Structure formats: C-alpha cells, structure tokens
Structure 1
Amino acid sequence: MHLYMEIILRTVSALLILLLIAKFHGKQTVSNMTFHDFATAITMGAIAANLAFNEKVPVKYLILCLVILSLTSVGLSWLSLKSTIARKWISGSPTVLIEHGKILDDNMRKLKFTLDSLNQSLRQKDIFDISQVDYVVLETNGRLSVKKKEEYLNVTRKDLKLRSSKSIFPVELIMDGKILEKNISENGISKDWLLSHIRKKGKKIEDVFYAVKSSNGKLYFDFYHDGIAAPVDKE
C-alpha cells in the first residue's frame, strides 16, 4: 500500500510541477512550439516520467533537474530575444516553400517536406488548387503561412466601399445553468433584461446550458433539452 501511495504522490507532483513550469513559460511557448520548445518539452517529459515511476532516483534530484532545465530554457528564450543569430540557431527561421506561384523544390528537399504534406496543409487552409497560391512560408512553429494570388483574394467590405458596423467582443452570460454575475456587472447588462429574454422562450435559467451576447449584440441560447431526437454521432 505504501508503494502505491508513493507512486500516486510522485505522479501528481510531476504533473503539478510541469503545469507550474508551463505557466511560468507563458502561453506563447505552448501555442508556438519551436525547435527549442520541442526539445525542452521532450526532456521535461522524460524527467517527469522518471519522477513519477523511477524509485531509484531521489525526488530532489529530479526536481532539481526540472528547475535547471526550466531556467536554461528561459535563458535561451531571453538570449533569442537579444540576438538575431542566437534566435536563428535556437528557434530556427521561416522557410519559403512557394514564391511567385513556383514551388522551391530545393527548400522542400532540405526540410524533407513532401508535396503530399504541402497539399494537405493547403487543404487545411481551404485551398484545394495550388495554382491559386502566390507565396507559402513554413514558419518556425511548423505551420504554413499562405498568401493567395491577387485574383483569388477574398473581397472585403473596404473593397466594396461598405460602411463597417461596430462590433463588440462576445460576452458569456450563462454557463451550465448559472448566471455569470461578474460578466454581467462588468458589461453593464441588466439581469432583468436577460431573464425577460429567457422567459420569452418559455424557459428558466436552469434550462439554459449556455448563453452569450454575440459581437452583433444579439443573444444566443443553447438549452439542455434541444429537442433533437436523434443527434448525429460520427465515430
């Protein structure tokens, strides 16, 4: 029993320490993973796994390793901010894959980036015809940035000389059947006004799964019982 409790404590500790380190590094590191971030994450994962299951290595040594690795990672991030040369070595640099509509096969070969991978990534950006593409850049986080040719760009309201309407950030009002009092008070929304709209739909607050005031000022409701007899479930 003592052995099981020790494994549980070590596993939970490993997870909490990794969450703390991730929070310390910030959201940008998690969302934009570069070479440096990838190597750091793999190493931290290995150390955390040993912290959880390897009883032969003392906990204090593993925690020390995580702290040192985290500080080293932060130091490298700081260095990459101060030096362009260091940034290219630590995080890598963007690579152009298509220029003026022409595929740069030499760059593709250097990156071991196949045409299948290129086409798949373009399809994920709703581009099914490569002839529509002017520029493609593979960023340091492994994602593609795409610029279409002029004739295939989407028309904007400015192009049509239409007046843009003012929009606001959506405000969540109800979640899981509970009113979000802080959101209501901070945005000057009347609770009575919200309740009146719920009553108009013949519902109570407890019936509302989610409610939000959208960017155009309209209310969106989703109820627990939506009246869908046979919902589609794709496995």
Structure 2
Amino acid sequence: MPDHIEVILRSIISFSLLLVGARILGKQTIAQMTMFDFVAAISLGAISGNLAFNTSVKVHHIIIAFTIYVAILFLIAIISLKNRKGRKLLAGDPTIVIQNGKVLEQNMKKMRYTLDYLNQQLREKDVFNIDEVLFAMVETNGTLTVQKKPEFRNVTRQDLMIAVTPEQRLPIELIMDGDIIKENLKQNNLTLSWLESELEKRHLTTHDVVYAVLAVNGNMYVDTYKDNIKSPIDKE
C-alpha cells in the first residue's frame, strides 16, 4: 500500500477513535477539564497522533493501547463518581484566594497563581475593583468563582418584592437553518398550522425564515434570510 494512502486511512481511524473515546468518557472531559482530564486528553491525543503518522508502529498495537487507556480512564471516572476521596485525589479541591475580602497570598503561592492573573480573572467576571469581592476561589478546572460583598451584588426581583411569573420550560427552537424542527413542535403540543399562522401575522412564510424560537414569555423571535440591511457592519 502506498505510504500516502496508508497515512490517510490511519488518520481516519485515529480521528474516529478519538470521537469514540470522547463519547465514552463523556462531556465533562471537555467542559470541566481538571488536571487529571488534561493529562488524559494529552495522552489520548499522543496515541492517536502516532496512529495517524507513525507508520512504523502497527495499527492494531496502537488501537489496543488506545482501548486500554480509555478503559482505565472510564474506570477511574466511575470510581471518582462513587468515591469522594478518589475524586479529591484525582481532581483536587478548590482553593480560596480571597477570604472575607482579604487576599490569601500563601494559597496563591502554592498554586503559583499571580495577582496579575487574579485581576484578569476578576475582570472576566466583570469585577474591576477587588474591594468588591468577599470570597473568591479557584475551582478544580482553573476557573475563578466570585462572591461579591452584599453591597455590590445585583438587586433581584425578590429583593424588591416584585411578583415573578414562574418559568417551567426552556425557549423552544421551531426553525433552525430554514428547517422546521417537527420534533420540538410535537413535544410542546404545537402544530405546523399554528407556526404558519404565527408567521403569517408577520407577513412571512416558513420558506422566508432561517431561525425561529419561541421564548418562555410566549414571544417569538424570527430571523429571515433577507435582513434588509443595506450596509452590514461585518461585510468584508
């Protein structure tokens, strides 16, 4: 088999293995990556990379190694799920960096966490004045969680004793990329004729719409193919 054909086939197998591995290990590996998840992702990537271009290594040997690695990671994930001590050993604990408005320099020093980085993460939380912070902790996935002092917190409807209409569902996507999502209509007891009548009120048909979503308050957001904007800002 020519080398370039072999590399192409091995790359397809490698990519497929990564997808399968990611599905088995679950979304947490991506969305909430801890130090353990980071090491696991690098290792799986290295194995898959060797499968793609290292033609001196037999394909079935790498597939065996990849399978064993995924199995070990899956087993460890199960143990972490059922055992709190195991979870703490693998993922670690959150580290408090601000307590009662005071910066804990020793905790930051243990993590090699600088004041510059602390201020950067605070700004990402829309906190530009560190004096507003009551507590702040670095979570196991590296993100910063912030609790502001009471006088700097946003006022809620509950604080103002304003009546709130209960919300018992998420917004419903009705049309996506020009295609009607019939499953969403069916699950929410909505009909195609109802959708068409709602669009007709806006002098539209389903063929005019690229995206439509029904909000929790009953209002429908509709975006059409024709935006009627003469000079789009992002036009290149």
Task: Report the TM-score when normalising by structure 1.
Answer: 0.94
Give 1:198 deviation, angstroms: 1.6
Gaps of 5+ in 2: none
Partners of 1:153 and 1:123 in 2: how far apart? 15
Which shifted more, 188-197 or 145-154? Answer: 188-197
Match of 1:30 in 2: 30
Partners of 1:196 and 1:74 in 2: how far apart? 50
Match of 1:205 in 2: 206
Match of 1:190 in 2: 191
Identity between Structure 1 and Structure 2 (%): 44
**Equivalent runs, 1:1-235 vs 2, <5 Å:** 2-167=2-167, 168-233=169-234
Change (3 A) 1:203 1:83: closer
Give 1:234 deviation, angstroms: 9.3
Partners of 1:188 and 1:158 in 2: how far apart? 32
Task: Report the TM-score when normalising by structure 2.
Answer: 0.94
CA shift digits 1:153-179 (9 cap, x unpaired): 111111111221122311110112121
Give 1:205 deviation, angstroms: 1.3
Which shifted more, 70-79 or 12-21? Answer: 70-79
Give 1:152 deviation, angstroms: 1.0
Q: Provide the aligned C-alpha RMSD in A.
A: 1.7
Give 1:220 deviation, angstroms: 0.5
Q: List structure 1 runs of 4+ shifted beyond 4 angstroms.
A: none
SS at match of 1:17: helix
SS at match of 1:210: strand
Gaps of 5+ in 1: none
Partners of 1:47 and 1:198 in 2: how far apart? 52
- The answer to whether the 8 Å contact 2:24/2:74 transfers is no
SS at match of 2:109: helix
Give 1:71 deviation, angstroms: 1.3
Partners of 1:210 and 1:63 in 2: how far apart? 42
- The answer to whether the 8 Å contact 2:47/2:62 transfers is yes
Partners of 2:31 and 2:105 in 1: how far apart? 29
SS at match of 1:157: coil
SS at match of 1:136: strand
